[in-house]
Amino acid sequence: MTDPIAATARPARADDALATAMGDGMVLMSMDSGKFVELNETAREVWNLADGATSVAAMVDRLGELFDVSADQCRAEVTALLATLRDQGLVHFDS
C-alpha cells in the first residue's frame, strides 16, 4: 500500500518526464521507466498544476471551479491520479 497524499502536499513534475498534448488530453512518459500514462482533460489540468508550489487542496479548489464535480469526488480522483503519477515516477513530493 502506498502512502496517502495529504491536502497540503505540493506535487512537482519529475525532471525526466516528457509530456505531449493529444487533443484535450496529454500523454506522459517517464524517461526513467519508459512507461506511458494517458491523461484526459481533467487529469491534464492536474499535471499542469503540479508545479511544486500548488497544494493538492488548491488543485481540488481549482478543478472544482473548472469542472462540475463535488469536492469529495474531486479530492478522491486528484489524489488517486497523483498516486498513480508518483508510482510511475512522473511526480514527486518535496517535504
**Tell me, what CATH number does 73's domain have?**
1.10.10.1150
Q: What is the mean pLDDT of residues 49-65?
A: 96
Cα–Cα distance measured from residue 73 to residue 76, given in angstroms and rounded to the nearest whole number: 5
User: Environment class of residue 95 by beta-carbon count within 10 Å: exposed (0-12), middle (13-18) or buried (19+)?
Assistant: exposed
- What pLDDT, on the 0 to 100 scale, is given for residue 95? 54
Tell me the pLDDT of the chain averaged across its residues: 93
Q: Tell me, yes or no, whether 65 lies in a domain.
A: yes
Cα–Cα distance measured from residue 38 to residue 19, given in angstroms and rounded to the nearest whole number: 10
Q: Which pTM was predicted? A: 0.91
Q: Per the structure, how many domains does the chain have?
A: 1
- What pLDDT, on the 0 to 100 scale, is given for residue 2? 61
Q: What is the mean pLDDT of residues 22-38?
A: 93
Q: Tell me, yes or no, whether 95 lies in a domain.
A: no
Q: What is the mean pLDDT of residues 50-63?
A: 97
The DSSP bridge pattern shows strands 11-13 and 17-22 to be unpaired
Q: Which amino acid is at 13?
A: R
CA-to-CA separations, 11 to 4, 8, 61, in angstroms, rounded:
13, 10, 15
- What pLDDT, on the 0 to 100 scale, is given for residue 4? 86
Give the tens place of pLDDT for each residue, 59-71. 999 999 999 899 9
Q: Tell me, yes or no, whether 39 lies in a domain.
A: yes
Q: Which of 8, 39, 46 is nearest to 23 (CA)?
A: 39
Q: How confident is the model at residue 24 (pLDDT cuts 50, 70, 90)?
A: very high
